[in-house]
Amino acid sequence: MMQPPKPHWALSRPLEQLAVELTVYCNLQCKMCSVWELREHGVPFDLAKQLLSDAYALGARTFIPCGAESFMRKDFLDVVEHAHGLGYTTQEVVTNGTMITDAHLERLSKTPSVQLHVSIDGPQPVQDELRGEGVYDKAVHTVRSARARGIRVGLSGVIMRETLETLTHLVDLAVELGVKEVSYQPFQTEISGPDKDIPRFSLLRKYRESQRAELERRLDEVRAYATSRNVRIYTESLFPAIPGYLIEGERPIPAGGCYLPSKFLLVDWRGDVFPCFFMRNDKMGNVYKDRIGDVWHSPIQKQLNILGLTARCPGCLAACSDVETADRALGSTATPFVTAKTTDADAVLV
């Protein structure tokens, strides 16, 4: 008698990562970003603590406070310290690095689960033109001060029209500051917003085939240069998909499917829950009325998980994408990415 296929293991794995948009306030008004225009704080402190406790009970050990500039929220470090006290082993904090004081750094030095990811898109003239006068120097000073206190730090840059000529600067700066890891992600039109000067930053359908080859050459140059300087690029496995994403608007998914919805939950500033940063049309619940445990074990979570595993999610390309699966795919196949498509592969999953 023929046995039914076993359910995919990723349909019953524990939660690993919780991301919460604690604030969408920002002290900067970056020219390629519109998130700062929202000007709202997320869930209150007591609810944030409850979310962290519930997610920890489900297996989560990584907390990702996100939104805009986390240090705009006065109780931000209270949340971080609470997560560390619960037992979270990793807290990934993206920051522009301009608001972090010595008092903040002193507290962060006592929470070794934290890693700061400081946004630096290029040399001082490029950074300050995009993000504001004096931002580069303040960000570099923060990295130096954090490193001096033993706080883990990475550098993060955006690949866009204005940064193409200076991509290797991030590697040189990392070496200068004693930072071992950098991250590059392509310009996101979703973050920019329709009212921004998108053609100024985007390569979408602006490049000819010869210019695509030039972009590929530049990416290969960055990879080789980082290797030669002993700097790890966290998003290196995403590089093969960047030209298609930036120039043709392709929405890549790791070959074999995306596993992020099988281990991740996002709570946005409204309290709405989603399976990742880019599946924002698929609300799973709201934490003001639903407990995280109920959302995680809900039928809609399973359905959205299946969409990812069968490469039927919208596709994306960012540092918050399923980099772990992309790493494996890059090492095992000549085609590490596919574009979003429809399949009937869920027959073996459910």
- Greater pLDDT, 303 or 203: 303
Which of 94, 87, 95 has the alpha carbon at shortest distance from 111? 87
Q: How far is CA 131 from the centre of its chain?
A: 19
**pLDDT-derived band of residue 344, with 50, 70 and 90 as boundaries?**
very low
pLDDT at 332: 62
Please spell the DSSP secondary structure of 50-87, one letter per residue.
HHHHHHHHTT--EEEEEES-GGGSTTHHHHHHHHHHHT
Give the Cα separation of 69 and 65 in Å (integer).
10
Cα torsion at 286, 292, 296, 300 (round to 10°)?
-10
**pLDDT-derived band of residue 170, with 50, 70 and 90 as boundaries?**
very high
Instruction: Read off the pLDDT of residues 100-159 as tens digits, 9 standing for 90 and up.
Output: 999 999 999 999 999 999 999 999 999 999 999 999 999 999 999 999 999 999 999 999
pLDDT at 212: 87
Q: What is the CA radius of gyration of the chain?
A: 20
Question: Is-contact 87 61, C-beta < 8 A?
Answer: yes
Percent of the chain scoring above 70 in pLDDT = 93
Tokens representing 265?
């939950």
Q: Mean pLDDT in the chain?
A: 92
Q: In terms of C-beta density within 10 A (0-12 exposed, 13-18 middle, 19 or more buried), how is residue 345 classed?
A: middle
Question: Is-contact 310 349, C-beta < 8 A?
Answer: yes
Length of the chain: 350
**pLDDT-derived band of residue 346, with 50, 70 and 90 as boundaries?**
very low
Instruction: Read off the pLDDT of residues 266-310 as tens digits, 9 standing for 90 and up.
Output: 999 999 999 999 999 989 999 999 999 999 999 999 999 999 999
Q: Residue 342 pLDDT more than 50? A: no
